[in-house]
Amino acid sequence: MIVLIVNADDLGINRARDRGIFEAFEHGLVTSASLLANGDSFTQAATQAKVLGLPLGVHLNLADGIALNGPIKGLTVLGNRFPGKERSRQYLLSEHCNPEAIEQELQTQIERVFAAGLNPDHLDTHQHFHLFPRLLSVVITLAKRFDIIRLRKPCPAEPLAMDPDGGFGQELKLYRTLCAQTHLDDVCKANLITPDGIWGMPLLNRLDTESLCRLLEGLPEGVWELMTHPGYPFANDGFSGPERAKELVALTSEAARKIIVERKIRLISFEDLPCGF
């Protein structure tokens, strides 16, 4: 049996990305989304998600946008703005990392999602920071505190040979190393539930109809998550270029849907992920 969660990250980052995510849910393969509590379009995205019944998780964020709980010494810049991926990663891996301050910020993000009238079914992290050893325990603590028992397992399921060259390849190498070093068994010990792994990480910015179909044709048995980023281009966001529209086309394509049907892939959301899997 092949069971697949097709999750769209970064809901709430801007209206153009949100529009693509909602289209991929209504007319495509997306079954779940991850909501940025500090995103520029959070309020509108939360409202529309409730109308559509889109299952949501909280996309915990320490890299981009504004810290909701105020400045974090050593991490935020210009007051309470997160410093971007590279600088946030340096902080989170350093001895100066303050897990207590981070926990307070992440709790505020989760509380904002609940305050919007939503009932999140999972937690995941922007730039996969809960792979960092000091941060996994924080996320586990918050998951139990808010009774959100499902988490992303951000360990790339694709073989190492699929990783691209260059800077992004080095980033994936870090994630693979952290997957081996971080005590992910602690998630099970805490009675939290994850899929078996995640697909799509090496395809960041390269997921189109052809690569999506190839991925779906090669999925092995198991319970998996496919990470996606559909949307429409947005001029003021470097990650919201034409690649987002290509993903939207792929996720709403008849070719991809045909493979889902032919291979009898069961599409679910995180809320459908029971303990028995």
Full DSSP string of 128-165: GGGGSHHHHHHHHHHHHHTT--BB----B-S-GGGS-S
Amino acid of residue 72: I
Q: What does DSSP say about strands 2-11 and 123-125: parallel, antiparallel, or unpaired?
A: unpaired
Q: What CATH number has the domain bearing residue 244?
A: 3.20.20.370
Contact 234/20 with Cβ under 8 angstroms? no
| Count of domains for the chain | 1
Tens digit of pLDDT for each residue in 246-268? 999 999 999 999 999 999 999 99
pLDDT digits over 198-247, tens only?
999 999 999 999 999 999 999 999 999 999 999 999 987 878 899 999 99
Flag whether 258 is in a domain.
yes
Task: Provide the residue range defining the domain that includes 197.
Answer: 2-272
User: What is the pTM (predicted TM-score) of this model?
Assistant: 0.96
Residue from 100, 146, 97, 102 nearest 123 by CA:
146
- Cα 99 from Cα 230, distance rounded (Å): 32
Dihedral sign from CA coordinates of 165, 171, 177, 180: negative
The proportion of the chain whose per-residue pLDDT surpasses 90, expressed as a percent, equals: 89
Q: DSSP secondary-structure letter at 265? A: P
Inform me whether the pLDDT recorded for 276 exceeds 50.
Answer: no
Give just the sign of the alpha carbon dihedral 84, 131, 269, 271: negative
Note whether residue 156 is domain-resident: yes
Residue 277 belongs to a domain: no
pLDDT at 277: 41
| Residue 251 confidence (pLDDT) | 98
In the structure, what pLDDT confidence band is assigned to residue 275 with cuts at 50, 70 and 90? low
Amino acid at 231: G
pLDDT of 57 reads 98
% of the chain surpassing 70 pLDDT: 99
